[in-house]
Amino acid sequence: MSAAVLQKLKNIPLTSGVYLMKNAVGRVIYVGKAVSLRRRVQSYFRPSPQTPLKTDRLVGEVADIDWTETASEAEALILEAGLIKQYKPKYNVELKDDKSYPFIEVTAEVFPRISIQRPRLRKKGARYYGPYVNVGLVREALTIIRKIFPFRTCEPFPSKECLDYHIGLCEAPCIQKITRRDYARNIRSVCLILEGKKDILYQRLRRDMEALVKEHKFEEAARVRDQMRSIGALYSGTQDINYYKEAEQLKRFLGLPRLPERIETFDISNIMGRQAVGSMAAFFNGKPDKNHYRRFRIKEVEGIDDVQMMAEVVRRRYRRLKAEGSAFPDLIVIDGGKGQLSFACRELESLGADIPIIALAKREEEVFLPKKRNAVLLPQNSLALRLLRRMRDEAHRFAVSYHRKLRAREAGI
């Protein structure tokens, strides 16, 4: 067992969640869920004569472990299923096409019905998610999702609204309380959750909320905002409670237009201008979103010029997002002072990218804001500064690790 894996085993929390085991090249080879992450993951590394051969092979390939905490095992089930679909790990094969286990069925009706089935024959046009081992957990997971995006389970349509409507689990399409279009959006949202495509769902909801605000439909916009927060809580678990306290404080101290849920943080690493690199660490609800980390080899700047290097990295990142039509983050944090901030702002302006941006200086941990002469000094014990430090340090770690890799490659190590 490597030292890195050994250290990870010591740091895994006791909470419920999902764990990802990776091989030496960083590929996810197994995804699992657990009531207690620490107990479950550590159990793989305790030799036993009863350990299956497949498990021995899996453990022999593990070079790194990541995890995501959730508020319950049912929420872990949702996340696990989505991650398996996303990564297709080679060791997650036990349940493939096994009809004895339950599936989640989404029918092809005008107002689709979602239910748990063990289908012998699949219905025409229906979509199926699973299979799952624990039907009780599947029911609990669907109840959690229905509280965010209500849907019908009844067959056939009743003549009047049922109890599910009155407790917020269905919006009564049976009596036209919801339009076909809005109901279809709910179903698509549920499917995106089951497919593990939370980023696509989150971006779509954000666009919807911003459009509703422009139309002065504030009550509907608030409902979409609450859905976004519920999705964040679903995927980030109990840490979200602390994060919203940090984010609310950061929003207040810096005068941000909205609560920053997606934050991108930049750092530069070089030695006397050699093998200069930039890094971007992405955060969602205060947690590292490593699938969206990015590394940059500096191509356009020669010599020692951290200010121009930061400008290059910011320009390349948001020029690409704009070309792709991808959503911008709620906040950009760059490592540096007024110089780095000024040049980064210039790049954003040239792209027409209206994104809140700040700089965090290392020495005094001063916060610089655009168009403000003096730095903002956040209280040393504040939650907001703790959040910024955590993100700054992660971006720095990521930059340094990339820089070391390039130096080692240059030295032929």
297 closest CA partner among 413, 412, 397, 407: 407
Which two structure tokens, joined as six digits, stand for 18?
């999902």
Report the run of H or E that residue 279 belongs to, with start and end. Answer: strand 274-284
Band (pLDDT 50/70/90 cuts) for residue 274 is: low
Between the two ends of the chain, the Cα-to-Cα distance in Å is: 22
Residue 120 has pLDDT above 90, yes or no: no
Residues near 26 by Cβ (< 8 Å), separated by ≥ 6?
64
Please answer whether residues 18 and 67 qualify as being in contact, where contact means their C-beta atoms are separated by less than 8 angstroms: yes
Number of residues written out for the chain = 413
Give, to the nearest 10 degrees, the angle between helix 218-236 and helix 180-194: 20
Average pLDDT, the chain: 84
pLDDT for the residue numbered 229 = 78
Helices and strands per DSSP (H, E), number in the chain: 13, 13
- CA angle 154–156–161, rounded 5-degree value: 60
Among the residue ranges 17-31, 170-184, 257-271, the one predicted with the least confidence is: 257-271
Q: What percentage of the chain exceeds 70 in pLDDT?
A: 92
Residue 214 has pLDDT above 70, yes or no: yes
Is the whole model's pTM more than 0.75, yes or no? no
pLDDT for the residue numbered 138 = 84
For each of the domains in the chain, give its residue range(s) and CATH number, in order of start.
3-87 (3.40.1440.10), 103-237 (no CATH), 262-410 (3.30.420.340)
Residue 112 or 159, more confident: 112
Please answer whether residues 263 and 283 qualify as being in contact, where contact means their C-beta atoms are separated by less than 8 angstroms: yes
Residues near 356 by Cβ (< 8 Å), separated by ≥ 6?
254, 256, 257, 260, 330, 331, 332
Give the strand pairing for 274-284 and 262-271. antiparallel
- By the 10 Å C-beta count (0-12 exposed, 13-18 middle, 19+ buried), 215 is classed as exposed
Please answer whether residues 353 and 322 qualify as being in contact, where contact means their C-beta atoms are separated by less than 8 angstroms: yes
pLDDT for the residue numbered 239 = 44
pLDDT for the residue numbered 410 = 62
Q: Could you read off the pLDDT of 360-403 as tens digits, one per residue?
A: 987 778 999 998 888 888 888 788 898 999 898 888 888 887 76
- CA angle 212–192–395, rounded 5-degree value: 85
Which two structure tokens, joined as six digits, stand for 120?
């012998």
pLDDT for the residue numbered 101 = 73
Band (pLDDT 50/70/90 cuts) for residue 158 is: confident
- Region 71-86 average pLDDT: 80
Report the run of H or E that residue 267 belongs to, with start and end. Answer: strand 262-271
- Region 318-344 average pLDDT: 91
- Region 119-124 average pLDDT: 81
pLDDT for the residue numbered 272 = 55
Band (pLDDT 50/70/90 cuts) for residue 1 is: low
Please answer whether residues 69 and 15 qualify as being in contact, where contact means their C-beta atoms are separated by less than 8 angstroms: yes
User: In the 8-state DSSP scheme, what is residue 28?
Assistant: E
Q: Could you read off the pLDDT of 4-48 as tens digits, one per residue?
A: 788 888 888 888 889 999 998 888 999 999 988 999 999 988 877
Q: What is the dihedral of CA 178, 181, 183, 189, to 10 degrees?
A: -150
pLDDT for the residue numbered 51 = 73
